[in-house]
């Protein structure tokens, strides 16, 4: 495994602002950040366990909120476990897959959503993806082979956007987790080709930094002409073949991203159970991607931006993080309680922080309260109209008297599932149309 320390320091020395994630040792991460800042660089440490999807998403959002964008992603997290296949524990198998494969996929997916043309994604794989000299290394080799395979696929997927994807496959590296003077190293060195030694941990970082340096030396005009030719060929194919056109349209709909927003932060809230129920219904669908967004996770204070949101001049890190998260979606389903004939103060406050990120998107509602939350939704429609969100007609009204046991335990009537899907049908239809509008406006400048 390549140590994160030399890669982070080298990128910082080359002028990059570095966001470093860690799972266990905050002290080591803070030491790296301190050393970078002492040398005149800019760095940030964020706790995020690689396989945990929401933690990674928040880390990416925080990075974008702090630095303004993500131009380079280095996937360095990894772990290794070795045992004969007959003895390999299933829990260890799951951990290897989670860290080495799922974690890499989640971080790449989230970063790619934020990355602009010219971005660089670098995976730190292993030579064991192609050759395994040790007994008991089959599962580890499987995970590193997966990294190599997904790299090739991603290079094609992201190439048209001007984003390169590369996989660095080093041999044994002298790091804190795999020192050159360990018993394990003594086993590896005799079967290591050529040098018969561990590489120093600062040497492999040259390759990621070489890929990064291409940001400043790529030939813009050639890349853009190639991209235009590719888009023209795709356009001709869609015109000639109506079947392919329908399939591509369906794929566009599947690429829609819908947020299910929990609109309450109150301790003991019912909203979390309702939102998870909505998400479980959404998860059965295949026409869009759905994610839970809990405003409680963003710790937004009472609105503290000195400039109105409509000016787009966000100055606070928490605002930028919130903006990056909300801006990544094409539509929303708000799960809201009714407080005093209206929505919660926390939800209103969260909406007021942003403007452009809400514009020209669709929204639906799932509400709950003594009157089903109907009056809260009417208030929410007025608020969302001002930030240029189109709200759909269908809505789900959940009664505290019939859908909750003792007003606390959520037990919805089965008929509500059909109503939830009706809301999703409209939000997805409107969201797709408005996404086309936004893309057209972006092209026209």
Cα distance between residue 75 and residue 5, in whole Å? 13
Cα distance between residue 317 and residue 68, in whole Å? 10
- Local structure of 7: helix, strand or coil: helix
Tokens describing residue 351: 């909406």
Backbone angles phi, psi at 63, to 5 degrees: -65, -45
Q: Are 56 and 106 in contact (CB under 8 A)?
A: yes
- Local structure of 221: helix, strand or coil: helix
Could you give the C-alpha distances from 3 to 79, 95, 172, 174, 283, in angstroms and in order?
12, 20, 11, 8, 37
Question: Could you count the other beta carbons within 10 Å of the beta carbon of residue 120?
Answer: 20
Backbone angles phi, psi at 8, to 5 degrees: -60, -45
Given 140, 198, 332, 368, which residue is catalytic? 140
Tokens describing residue 125: 């794989």
By the 10 Å C-beta count (0-12 exposed, 13-18 middle, 19+ buried), 223 is classed as middle
> What is the separation, in whole angstroms, between the first and last Cα of the chain?
45
Sequence-distant (≥ 6) Cβ neighbours of residue 295 within 8 angstroms: 261, 262, 263, 265, 346, 347, 350
Q: Following CA atoms 387, 392, 393, 398 in sequence, which dihedral angle do they give, to the nearest 10 degrees?
A: -90
- For the question of residue 140 being annotated catalytic, the response is yes
Cα distance between residue 164 and residue 14, in whole Å? 19
Cα distance between residue 144 and residue 79, in whole Å? 11
Active site residue ranges: 140
């Amino acid at each position: 495994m390549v140590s994160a320390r030399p890669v982070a320091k080298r990128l910082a020395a080359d002028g990059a602002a570095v966001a470093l994630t860690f799972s266990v040792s905050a002290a080591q991460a803070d030491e790296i950040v301190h050393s970078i800042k002492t040398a005149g660089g800019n760095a940030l440490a964020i706790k995020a366990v690689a396989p945990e999807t929401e933690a990674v998403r928040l880390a990416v959002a925080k990075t974008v909120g702090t630095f303004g964008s993500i131009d380079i992603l280095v996937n360095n997290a990894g772990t290794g476990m070795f045992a004969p296949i007959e003895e390999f524990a299933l829990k260890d198998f799951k951990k290897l897959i989670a860290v080495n494969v799922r974690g890499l996929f989640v971080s790449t997916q989230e970063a790619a959503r934020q990355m602009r043309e010219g971005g660089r994604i670098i995976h730190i794989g292993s030579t064991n993806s192609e050759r395994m000299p040790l007994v008991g290394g089959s599962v580890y080799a499987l995970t590193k082979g997966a990294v190599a395979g997904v790299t090739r696929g991603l290079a094609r997927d992201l190439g048209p956007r001007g984003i390169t994807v590369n996989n660095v496959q080093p041999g044994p590296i002298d790091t804190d987790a795999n020192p050159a003077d360990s018993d394990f190293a003594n086993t590896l060195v005799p079967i290591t080709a050529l040098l018969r030694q561990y590489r120093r941990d600062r040497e492999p970082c040259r390759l990621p930094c070489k890929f990064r340096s291409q940001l400043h030396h790529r030939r813009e005009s050639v890349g853009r002409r190639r991209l235009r030719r590719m888009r023209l060929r795709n356009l001709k194919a869609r015109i000639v073949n109506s079947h392919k056109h329908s399939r591509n349209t369906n794929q566009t709909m599947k690429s829609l991203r819908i947020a299910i927003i929990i609109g309450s932060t109150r301790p003991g809230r019912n909203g979390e159970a309702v939102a998870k129920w909505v998400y479980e219904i959404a998860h059965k669908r295949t026409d869009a991607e759905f994610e839970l967004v809990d405003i409680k996770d963003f710790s937004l204070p009472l609105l503290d931006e000195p400039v109105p949101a409509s000016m787009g001049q966000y100055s606070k890190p928490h605002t930028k993080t919130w903006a990056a998260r909300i801006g990544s979606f094409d539509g929303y389903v708000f799960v809201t309680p009714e407080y005093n004939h209206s929505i919660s103060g926390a939800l209103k406050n969260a909406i007021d922080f942003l403007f452009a990120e809400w514009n020209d998107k669709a929204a639906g509602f799932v509400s709950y309260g003594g009157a089903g939350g109907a009056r809260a939704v009417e208030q929410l429609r007025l608020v969302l109209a001002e930030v240029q969100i189109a709200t759909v007609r269908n809505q789900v009204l959940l009664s505290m008297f019939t859908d909750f046991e003792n007003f606390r335990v959520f037990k919805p009537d089965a008929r509500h599932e059909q109503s939830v899907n009706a809301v999703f049908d409209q939000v997805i239809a409107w969201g797709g149309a408005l996404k086309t509008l936004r893309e057209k406006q972006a092209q026209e400048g």
